[in-house]
Amino acid sequence: MDGHNSTATDATMKLGEFKVHATDGHARRATLMTAHGPVQTPVFMAVGTKATVKAMTPEELKDCGTQVVLGNTYHLHLRPGEKTIARMGGLHKFMNWHGPILTDSGGFQVFSLSQLRNMTEEGVEFRSHLDGAKHFISPEKSMEIQMDLGSDIIMAFDECLKYPATDEEIEKSMALTYRWLLRSQAAMTRKESLLFGIVQGGLSLKHRLKSMEQICSVDLPGYALGGFSVGEPMHLMHALLPDVAPRMPANKPRYLMGVGTPTDLIIAIDSGVDMFDCVMPTRVARNGTIYTWNGKVSIKRSEYKEDPSALDPECDCYTCKNYSKSYLRHMFMSGEILGSRLNTIHNIHFYMKVMEKAREAIAQGRWAEYRDFCLTRFAKKDS
């Protein structure tokens, strides 16, 4: 049992093939074949921004059930540079992760992190947040970078609008995103990589459906929903997903970018989303926030000073098997690296377990039961 719910048919799948094994409501249990092996969906992908999932080794990621790691095109372009990584043998070898890698387009970071953006039809000029140096990124450049990295799943270069945006801004932006998708497609020539298009359209159903029509008119191995988790109240996304996700092509993977909490994942799977990524489990771990089957735990609380119990009695991760809340609180209060490591191991393991159980539940036709169980459990507060 590898924890990924692999299927017997994986071995015969072709690159880019997406096989839906079971559906339960809108929820789907499927497999996507990449150049670095099959991905069992629904899947949560661990974010490895700068060629490392913060605080984790690749072996620890695997032990936690991680299938796919994300790399960030913007960050890796600035440092150490995609040409350096290419000369070191590509991102897989560079970071010692030999499973599938997905890279984003750089668009999100260009719009959220960099300064002095000058956007034209051609692309975006920006200054590095590291040293102020001028850079230019376009659909073609984004494809070149991601191909140099040797990514298995390459994201089209899109404009990621801020929230809130006016109807006019949304329409203009999604039209540009569509034209940039066509240029991305023309520029993406690496046959081992799969190009995913990104549906935009803000938080308006009308625009989302229009953007989807545009983006999905281009035949691609997968489609993403971008522009969520950009500062909007999450209930708006929750309300929109059931009207949007199920209308995306049924025979292609659906990827909800940058989402989210365990509750977000369950709600999105319920609408038929297959793939997720988010910095949440790793980032909050370093700040001492732990996800458990009984809600969130803030490890710094003084009541844990002499608590000999594990973070989560239902968890079999390395952290829960070997360390008490008392020790983890001490590590956190002392600012120790091991605290960040142990919290991250637990959170990643927890996210992967939520997804593994989701795959099982969908395959066994008891998705609704599992969904309701999760939504009740995850809503519990620190007691």
Does residue 87 bind a second copy (CB under 8 A)?
yes
What part of residues 90-149 is at the interface with a second copy (CB under 8 A)?
94-96
**Nearest CA among 296, 243, 303, 253 for reference residue 273:** 253
Interface mask toward a second copy for 312-331; x: CB under 8 A? ----------xxx-xx-xxx
Q: How far apart are CA 378 and CA 350, in angstroms?
A: 12
C-beta of 309: minimal distance to a second copy in Å? 11
**Could you give the 3-state DSSP secondary structure of residue 243?**
helix
CA 81 to chain centroid, in Å, comes to 22
Q: Is 106 annotated as a binding residue?
A: yes
Stretch that binds a second copy, among 76-84, 242-250, 272-280, 292-300 (CB under 8 A): 76-84
Of residues 19, 21, 54, 247, which one binds a second copy by CB under 8 A?
A: 54
Per CB under 8 A, the segment of 3-11, 167-175, 209-217, 305-313 that binds a second copy is 305-313
Q: Is 227 annotated as a binding residue?
A: yes
Q: Which is nearer to a second copy, 124 or 342 (CB)?
A: 342
In this structure, are residues 276 and 260 in contact, taking their beta carbons and an 8 Å threshold? yes
Using an 8 Å Cβ cutoff, are 145 and 106 in contact? yes
Least distance from a second copy to the Cβ atom of residue 336, Å: 5
Which residue among 15, 279, 338, 363 contacts a second copy (CB under 8 A)?
338
Binding residue for a second copy, selected from 23, 52, 263, 294, defined by CB under 8 A: 52
Q: Which stretch binds a second copy (CB under 8 A): 6-14, 52-60, 197-205, 293-301?
A: 52-60
Cα-based angle 41, 351, 251 (whole degrees, multiple of 5): 15
Burial call 131-162: b when 16+ CB within 10 Å, e when fewer: eeeebebbbbbbbbbbbbbbbbbbbbbbbbbe
Distance CA 283, CA 336 (A): 15
Range list of β-strands (E), the chain: 18-24, 27-34, 37-41, 43-47, 69-71, 101-103, 115-119, 124-127, 134-137, 153-155, 194-199, 222-225, 254-256, 275-278, 289-292, 295-298
Among 134, 206, 305, 366, binds a second copy (CB under 8 A): 305
The answer to whether the annotation marks 158 as part of a ligand binding site is yes
The nearest distance, CB 80 to a second copy, in angstroms, is 5
d(CA 68, CA 73): 16
Choosing from 148, 270, 277, 312, the catalytic residue is 277
The residues assigned a catalytic role are: 104, 277
Binding site for a second copy (CB under 8 A): 50-52, 54-57, 79-80, 84, 87-89, 94-96, 305-306, 308, 322-324, 326-327, 329-331, 333-334, 336-338, 340-341
